[in-house]
Amino acid sequence: MFDPYLVLTPLHYIYLIGVIVILTVMVLRKDTPLVCILFLFLLGLVGLKSLTGGIMTVFNAILYASREFMDIIATIALVTALSKCLKDLGSDYLMMIPMSKVMKTPSLTWWILGGTMLLFSLFLWPSPSVALVGAIMLPLAVRAGLDPLAAAMAMNLFGHGIALSYDFVIQGAPSISAAAASITTDEVLIKGRPLFLVMGIVTVASAYLLNRSEIAACCQEVHIQNAEEHHEIGIAAITMAILTPLFFLADILLMLAFDIKGGDATSMVSGTAVLVMCIGAFLGFGRHSLEKVTSYATDGFLFAIRIFAPVIIIGAFFFLGGGGITSIMGDQFQRGIMNDWAIWLAHNVPLNKYMAAFFQLVIGGLTGLDGSGFSGLPLTGSLAHTFGTAVGASVPILATLGQISAIFVGGGTIVPWGLIPVAAICSVNPLELARKNLPPVMIGFLATFIAACFLL
């Protein structure tokens, strides 16, 4: 099946050194785009044997990565634009009120707060949801007797952990993993679903059981940061608070009825988000709606590009490891550099599918140390294809493993510098929150790895 006489060239060694250097920089909590650009130039210079080839490779790789990620960038931008519109109208506050009515005990409140964060994060992403859920529901949760640190755990594990790693609505993380692994997004979401469920259920159950006494500890007084004043509620706010969930519910029903999946499902969510945003702007601002729509769209795209700018450059480097090398460097390169390394490893190192799964889990976690989570997905996706091809393991399962560990570590529930937004709005120490999250997340990783071994 593979060429046992594969000869490794300087191109292969430069790429491997690049991967090691990038991982090292991530572990040191430094940004990696500069390193990626440098190695892109070196790879082009050596591979195409010309200075112009090196220069063009930098641009072609970034352009290729931009095309691969553009659909999800647009999705996140449009969903963010909708969330800003709802916030300005005050509809976000109204949509939270029903949840607050059932917050009777600290334990029940913990699950309600986490479930609400999960729901909103799936449709709006965790970043805007932190401010939304935290500013409105957190004071209610504390009044119900929930400890602020326990509240931060719930918001963090359900939002930046489960919702961001699975992400089956917006499909940000699965799209990046799938593109880098040369598979479809549906394969990651469907074949990887058991792993997402195991990780999510085991982690939050462990978090609850390990911290039951502290969850029930009532804090008499807490200073909540970033709690915004309630908007004056008008007809537009009430209308949009009703219409927004109805529109997205209609999306889900249509997806089920017509078996709409993958990119088409993302298009439904994105299109609905922008249409609802336009309706909200018109109802709330009338003749000023033209300017408001422009403002919301601009803010949304600025937010999305701010997140994905480094991911695009990092992805540009790792796409050379897979099938993207042909589009980037020309038809003379028919096989990705990492794929060649996989073939070499398969014939020279006793690598099996269980070791491949372990490597994916570890490498995903290492890439998450930069506090992003997303920056490592091009690497874990590329390695999933590499290892899966080399040892005959399931590429979607390996990609899912890397995605889960990268997002849970860096997205983030483990590294303190990835926890700052949640910690800030709950007025807790990010180091303390990271320490509390570590045991349940590690238990979740262990359970997920064991489950993956049965699915490979």
334 assigned to some structural domain: yes
Identify the three-state secondary structure at position 50. Answer: coil
- pLDDT value at 229 more than 70: no
Integer CA distances (angstroms), 98 to 136, 137, 148, 245, 432, in order? 12, 10, 21, 13, 31
Is 126 a domain residue?
Answer: yes
315-329, 350-364, 369-383: segment of lowest average pLDDT: 369-383
Q: Given pLDDT bands bounded at 50, 70 and 90, which one contains residue 262?
A: low
Q: At which residue do the structure tokens 């699915």 appear?
A: 455
Residue 216's pLDDT is 66
List the structure tokens of 379: 């690497």
Per-residue tokens: 327: 């589009």
Taking the whole predicted model, whether its pTM rises above 0.75 is answered as no
Task: Please name the residue that has the structure tokens 């976690």.
Answer: 365
Residue 164 corresponds to which tokens in the numbers above? 């961001």
Of 118-122, 129-133, 317-321, 447-451, which one has max mean pLDDT? 447-451
Average pLDDT of 224-234? 54
Give the CA angle between residues 443, 447, 452 to the nearest 5°.
145
Q: Are 147 and 44 in contact (CB under 8 A)?
A: no
Q: Is the pLDDT of residue 423 over 90?
A: no
**What is the pLDDT confidence band of residue 275, given thresholds at 50, 70 and 90?**
very high
Q: Kindly report the average pLDDT of the chain as a whole number.
A: 83
For 230, which DSSP code? Answer: P
pLDDT bracket for residue 416 (50, 70, 90): low
Of 212-216, 335-339, 435-439, which has the strongest mean pLDDT? 435-439
CA dist., res. 173 & res. 75, Å (int): 12
Residue 4 counted as domain residue = no
Residue 219's pLDDT band (cuts 50, 70, 90)? very low
Residue 11: what pLDDT?
A: 92
Tens-place pLDDT, residues 73-131: 887 788 888 888 988 898 877 876 776 677 778 888 899 899 988 988 887 778 767 76
Does a structural domain hold residue 3?
A: no
pLDDT at 333 over 80: yes
Report the pLDDT averaged over residues 249-277: 81
Percent of the chain with pLDDT over 90: 32
Exposure b/e, 203-231, CB count within 10 A at least 16 = b: bbebbbeebeeebbeeeeeeeeeeeeeee
**Where is average pLDDT lowest: 19-23, 216-220, 349-353, 450-454?**
216-220
Question: What is the average per-residue pLDDT within 55-71?
Answer: 90
Q: Which of the pair, 231 or 33, is modelled with greater confidence? A: 33
d(CA 94, CA 90): 7
The H-assigned helical ranges of 330-394 are 337-348, 353-367, 377-391
The confidence score (pLDDT) of residue 5 equals 59
* pLDDT at residue 168 tops 50: yes
Indicate if the pLDDT at residue 2 is higher than 60: no
- Do the domain assignments include residue 106? yes
Domain range enclosing 179: 10-455
Asked if residues 29 and 315 have their Cβ atoms less than 8 Å apart, the reply is: no
Kindly state whether residue 171 falls inside one of the protein's structural domains: yes
**In the structure encoding, which two tokens stand for residue 262, read together?**
């993958």
Q: For 106-139, give one letter per residue: b (16+ CB within 10 A) or e.
A: bbebbebbbebbbbbbbbbbbbbbbbbbbbbbbe
Residue 341 near residue 403 (C-beta atoms within 8 A): no
pLDDT band at 221 (very low <50, low <70, confident <90, very high): very low
256 domain residue, yes or no: yes
State residue 399's pLDDT score. Answer: 93
Query: What confidence score (pLDDT) does residue 371 get?
Result: 61
The count of domains in the chain is 1
Output the pLDDT for position 230. Answer: 52
pLDDT at 273 over 50: yes
Q: How far is CA 60 from the centre of its chain?
A: 25
Per-residue tokens: 308: 């994905």
What is the structure's pLDDT at 47?
A: 92
Which segment of 62-66, 139-143, 182-186, 254-258 scores lowest on mean pLDDT? Answer: 139-143
Q: Is 160 inside any structural domain?
A: yes
What's the confidence (pLDDT) of residue 141? 81
The pLDDT > 70 percentage for the chain reads 90
* Amino acid identity for residue 22 in this structure: I
